[in-house]
Amino acid sequence: MAAAHGLLQSSESIESTHKVDSTLFVDGQISAWDRAEKHALQQIDMCIEKHTDSPWKSLIQKEDAGKKNLCSSEGKLLPELYLVGEPKSATTSLALDLMSVGIGTLGIDFRTKHPHRHRHCSKELHFFDVALNQANQAADEKQRWLKLLPNCSSRRQVLADFTPNYLASVPAPENFQLRPKMRRAVNVPETLHDWYGEQGRNITFLTLLRNPLGRLHSVWHGCGMSKRSRFEKFQDAIQSLVATAGATGKADSLLYSISYAKHLKVWLEHFSAAQFVIVPFGFYTKGEKDRLCLELSRRMSFDIDCDSKGHQPSHHFASGPQTLEKETTAEFRKDFDNFTRADVEELASLLLQAHSKGAFLAGYNGGDVLQWLRSNW
C-alpha cells in the first residue's frame, strides 16, 4: 500500500506542541500515560495521513461559520466520528480511506509499549478499552483525555477514533466466559455518554458487520489464532468451541466477539439510533461504497469528493492462505449457521428497529432486513 507518511500540520497550530500530563501508576508499574510523557508524545493538531490508493479525494474545508466543529467548553476538538466495530470487518481499510480525505486521528495507540507517534498515524487510539481500563476510571481521567485532544479550529475539522474493539466493550451476559483481556472494566458507550453530555448527540457511530464465520476465519489467520490454538485446522477449532458452548451453556470470548446484537443493544441504550451508520462488510468492499461516503459527508457536513470512479477500497482483503469454502465443508457451514441463527435474527430485528428510528443501513431499501444482511455481509 502506497502511503505518504508523516503528519500534515495545521497552519494555525504548526508551532504548538504539548506532552501528555500524567502522574498515574497502576499496580506499581508505569502506566501508558507515563510512557507517553516519557517518550515525549508530540501533539501537533490532528494526525492526517494520505494514501494514494484511496478511492475518495479530500476537498478544502470551508470556514466553520455554522459552528459544526464539536468543541468542548475548554476549546478542545472532541472526536466526532467513532468507527466502533467490528475488527476484521474492513475497519482498517475504511479508516485509511477516511483519513485520506482529511478526517484526523490523534495518531497514537495505547496498546503499544510506547504510545507515541511513529512514522505513520495510528488509526486506533484504544483509550477507552485500554488506557482507561488501566486507570480504573480515576476521577480525573476525563481531564487527561481532554489534554490529548487538539484545539478547535476556525476551519471545519472532524476528529475520529477508529478503534473497532469499542463495540464489544460492554458488559457481557452471564452465559459468556471471557478471557481476562476481554473482561472490559469500562462500559464504553456509557462512559462516552457521561463524558460528552448533551454534545454526545452530535457523534456519528460507524459500524461494519461481517458474516460471523467469515470474520472468525479472518481472525484465525490474521490475528495469530492459528498459531496459538491446539488445533491445526480452523474448522476443528470452531467445532470444539461450539461443542463446548452446547455442552456447558457457556460461550467463550471468540464466540462473544460475533454476538453483534448483544453489543449493539447496549450502545442503543445510550445513544439515539439516528446516530448510527451500519455497513455490511460486502457493501463496502464490493458494493456501492460511494453511497456510504456521501452519507458520511452529509451527516458530518464535511466536504469529500466521493466519486471513486470505480476504484476499489485502499486495502486488500485476504482472509488467509485458503478461502473459507476450501477450509470448511458445506455441512459445517450449515451447522454453524444454525448455531448462530438466533443471534443473527436478533441482530436483524434490532437493526430494523434502529432503522425505523433513523439509523442508516447501507444498501437497505426496505423489505426483509435479514435477507439484506445475509446478502451483503
314-332: pLDDT as tens digits: 775 555 668 999 999 999 9
Instruction: Give strand pairing partners of 277.
Output: 206, 360
Q: Reduced to 3 states, what is the DSSP secondary structure of residue 238?
A: helix
Q: Would you place residue 98 in the very low, low, confident or very high pLDDT band (cuts 50, 70, 90)?
A: very high
Q: What distances in angstroms separate CA 232 from CA 96, 170, 190, 197, 235, one per listed residue?
A: 33, 32, 40, 49, 9
**pLDDT at position 225 over 80:** no
Peptide bond into 288 cis (omega under 30): no
**pLDDT at position 52 over 80:** no
The larger pLDDT score, comparing residue 217 to residue 181, is at 217
User: Distance between CA atoms of 355 and 368, rounded to whole angstroms?
Assistant: 12
Q: Would you place residue 149 in the very low, low, confident or very high pLDDT band (cuts 50, 70, 90)?
A: very high
The larger pLDDT score, comparing residue 321 to residue 77, is at 77
The larger pLDDT score, comparing residue 139 to residue 87, is at 87
User: How far, in whole angstroms, is CA 187 from its chain's centroid?
Assistant: 15
The torsion of the CA quartet 285, 208, 314, 326, rounded to 10 degrees, works out to: -50
User: Distance between CA atoms of 245 and 239, rounded to whole angstroms?
Assistant: 10
User: Distance between CA atoms of 279 and 364, rounded to whole angstroms?
Assistant: 10
Residues 6+ apart with CB under 8 A from 353: 273
Task: For 142-152, give one letter per residue: b (16+ CB within 10 A) or e.
Answer: eebbebbbbbb
**pLDDT at position 32 over 70:** no
User: How confident is the model at residue 196, as a pLDDT?
Assistant: 96
pTM for the structure as a whole: 0.85
The H-or-E segment that residue 166 falls in is: none
**pLDDT at position 27 over 70:** no
User: Distance between CA atoms of 285 and 237, rounded to whole angstroms?
Assistant: 27
User: How confident is the model at residue 6, as a pLDDT?
Assistant: 29
User: Distance between CA atoms of 279 and 83, rounded to whole angstroms?
Assistant: 11
Q: Encode pLDDT of 204-223 as tens digits.
A: 999 999 999 999 999 998 87
User: Distance between CA atoms of 6 and 367, rounded to whole angstroms?
Assistant: 46
27-36, 48-57, 154-163, 176-185: range with lowest mean pLDDT: 27-36
**pLDDT at position 84 over 60:** yes
Residues 6+ apart with CB under 8 A from 87: 164, 165, 219, 257
Q: Is-contact 128 15, C-beta < 8 A?
A: no
**pLDDT at position 21 over 50:** no
The H-or-E segment that residue 24 falls in is: none
Q: Would you place residue 25 in the very low, low, confident or very high pLDDT band (cuts 50, 70, 90)?
A: very low
The mean of the pLDDT values for the chain is: 82
* Mean pLDDT value of segment 240-256: 87
